[in-house]
Amino acid sequence: MKYYAHGEITLKHQDWVQTYIVEVNAFIERHGGCVLSRSIKMEKIEGETPLPTNVILIEFPSRDAALAFFNDPEYQPLRQTRLNGAESEFTLFPSEDLAVTGLE
């Protein structure tokens, strides 16, 4: 089953972003992932939580592939660059519809 990684990133500073974006794509692709959206253009239409600076949505072929990306030892220095330069929240979820699969 496909899995999605949804990230919300709030930048502390921007000096790392361009290099990170270029380099992270190779790691995403190595694990079968595909960036569906990476944007700074967001609109709040519901809720009170402040908007992040950036959002990203990545599709992976499976949960294992997504976790392999996040845990790839070669990715860790680049990941640390992001963690040093931003507050990040990532959520991993399956490609399913509870209206079809039910709540269990």
The residue among 82, 95, 96 whose CA lies nearest residue 38 is 82
Residue pLDDT, tens place only, 39-93:
999 999 999 999 999 999 999 999 999 999 999 999 999 999 999 999 999 999 9
The residue extents of the domains of the chain are: 3-39+55-95
Provide the whole-model pTM. Answer: 0.91
Residue pLDDT, tens place only, 80-100:
999 999 999 999 999 998 888
The residue among 79, 72, 90 whose CA lies nearest residue 31 is 72
Q: Could you confirm whether domain 3-39+55-95 is CATH 3.30.70.100?
A: yes
